[in-house]
Amino acid sequence: MAPIASTLALGAGCYWGTEKFIINDFQKIHPGSIVDAKVGFMSAKENAKANPSYEQVCTGKTGHVEVLNIKLRPNSDDDSADGTTDPEIFESLIRFFFMFHDPTTLNRQGNDSGSQYASVIFYSDEAQRKIATRVKKELQDGIDRRKVTTYENPTVETEINDYTEFFPARDSHQNYLGKNPSGYCNHRIRLRDWPKL
């Protein structure tokens, strides 16, 4: 498999839980796979407000989604400016993303409701888009064949959009659950094994 872009952003509801599960739990599977990650906001809409505040995004009116912006470990032989990564790591991350949130609840995760809590994959190149689309289809096939029954609804609502400008959240929201271990988090492992089709 050819290398692919190393940068992406994932929205899976409240970004605190997304950060915790990817930084802590995903890296137990692939140690050192993430070289940088920050919570913040991204929008698929053109002319979205630049540098929105958390309070503005929470209104659901800015068009932004709470995301974790991720830089995956680059290939050791890669000397390009943007960096490329192992597509197998990327695919594993996308599968893991679907395992700790419910991608069938449109613009909602648990008690958090609004477009800012959408399930979204923001991809950086065509190779990422193809993998994300294929993995989403695999999951939908698993639901359709009743091999996956742990989600609330029968349709995967996850959007797959072009990576746009990332706006970091305030410092107090970075590593929030690391600093506040008993803080609010509605994420949990909903799917322990990827469906075999």
191 in a structural domain = no
189 in a structural domain = no
Which domain does 148 fall in, by range?
4-178
Helix (H) or strand (E) run with residue 181 in it: none
Catalytic residue among 4, 5, 10, 14: 14
One digit per residue, the tens of pLDDT, for the chain of length 197 reads 667 999 999 999 999 999 999 999 999 999 999 999 999 999 998 888 899 999 999 999 999 999 999 999 988 655 554 578 999 999 999 999 999 999 999 999 999 999 999 999 999 999 999 999 999 999 999 999 999 999 999 999 999 999 999 999 999 999 999 999 999 898 999 999 999 88
188 in a structural domain = no
The total number of structural domains in the chain stands at: 1
141 in a structural domain = yes
Burial (CB count within 10 angstroms: exposed 0-12, middle 13-18, buried 19+), residue 37: buried
185 in a structural domain = no
Helix (H) or strand (E) run with residue 65 in it: strand 64-72
Tracing tokens 């959007």 back to the chain, one arrives at 159
In CATH, what number is assigned to the domain containing residue 66? 3.30.1060.10
195 in a structural domain = no
Cα(7)–Cα(33) distance, integer angstroms: 12
84 in a structural domain = yes
Q: Is 14 a catalytic residue?
A: yes
Query: What is the signed CA dihedral for 62, 50, 43, 192, rounded to 10 degrees?
Result: -100
39 in a structural domain = yes
CB distance 187 to 11 below 8 Å: no
